[in-house]
Structure 1
């Protein structure tokens, strides 16, 4: 029998891991954005071989499920770190590698592809007339970048970037496979302890819903405020 009291009790336990989940998602978002910006810049150089390598990498990341990539990194990253440190004569125990680091590396690489597309789309939407107007007013390159280009690009990229943030939060439910406890993993643990899986997963769904709703509201307000500056 479904018990609403158990839902609230599960909710209390699940909320405890929300800060950790949001922190992991934020770190992944920032790193994937940086990697995406680097990919965008490298592609803009139009170096034939490099551009083709990046295209193949992007195709691989798009076509491979996150769970497969997570396991690939989980089993290969310790070997890579060990080999790299051995070049400098530094010993490393592969078992000591934090599982959270594996999750951060995996999802940062996965979502860098999507961030690259977001950044490229924002740059293409840039109004070149405003850049020319800034130059005609005597703005330097750095002033044009700081006062015209970056604000407009950020305004265009904000909705999609925040959507990526929400996707990352939900994708972290896979982190339980490598022993990282997020919202979903906590719900599974609570359900196992109380034998009330339905109530625990209902509580988890409510937490996800509230987080996504709150973040969407904040971003909409922020986007409207940023866009008013260019109307």
Structure 2
């Protein structure tokens, strides 16, 4: 077997149109997951009545089951709920109107939320308790202290783990092909079927993922340096 370097380049170029789809899945899931995870982390940290057991169960169940399983449950279960609700309310809307990538957005956001909650919670625990006590001493409410003092420091402390989550969700976006979303890996399979050079096509996909991962790592390093400047008082 001879490696076709020319086809690796051809496949690499052919895979580029699928990059926006992978990035969109990653961005939406990380953004929504961060919102969900922050809310869940605060609920668990402060043991909010009624919501605390629900939040704990959510994290335990989602982290204890595979990402692909979440996707299938959403893909097959959500249409049943939507169509059932539409029938009972007399609406004409049907689940077939939802684009396939929408199921990936919902599923991956739910998955990311559970993992993000642990990342944010660890960041919150890293912030000195005296910070919020100092905020109370100058008349801030808990919400003001969290928004202006605690959460920014928690996110700064969590930045390496947040970066790992972004990379993990980028790689996890390859599962979207199971619900007919053409992301990078699915595109590689399509490209390879033209001449059955699957090794070269997937090698091109691997190089593309490596490049995107390297870019995320570099952006994280820049963000960390920026936060360190603020922490040292180097930026006014």
Q: Cα–Cα, structure 1 residues 147 and 46, in superposed 2: closer, same or farther, change >3 Å?
A: closer
Instruction: State how far apart, in whole Å, the 1-side matches of 2:105 and 2:59 are.
Output: 18
**Match of 1:92, SS?**
coil
**Match of 2:127, SS?**
coil
Q: Aligned Cα RMSD in Å?
A: 2.1
Question: Which residue does the alignment assign to 2:204?
Answer: 203
Superimposed CA distance per residue, residues 161-188 of structure 1 (whole angstroms, 9 cap, x where no aligned partner): 1211110110111110100011111111
Q: Which runs of 5+ in 1 are unaligned?
A: none
Superimposed CA distance per residue, residues 198-227 of structure 1 (whole angstroms, 9 cap, x where no aligned partner): 110010000010110111011111112102
Question: Which residue does the alignment assign to 2:228?
Answer: 227
Q: How does 1:176-187 map to 2 (within 5 A)?
A: 176-187=177-188
1:67 aligns with 2:83: no
Question: Which residue does the alignment assign to 2:42?
Answer: 41
Instruction: State how far apart, in whole Å, the 1-side matches of 2:33 and 2:106 are.
Output: 9
Question: Which residue does the alignment assign to 2:97?
Answer: 96
Superimposed CA distance per residue, residues 100-158 of structure 1 (whole angstroms, 9 cap, x where no aligned partner): 1111111111121111111111111112334455566x474476545432321221122
1:127 aligns with 2:156: no
How many residue pairs match? The answer is 230
Q: Which runs of 5+ in 2 are unaligned?
A: none
TM-score, normalised to structure 2, is: 0.88
Instruction: State how far apart, in whole Å, the 2-side matches of 1:146 and 1:59 are.
Output: 27
8 Å contact from structure 2 (residues 86, 93) kept in 1: yes
Question: Which residue does the alignment assign to 1:4?
Answer: 5
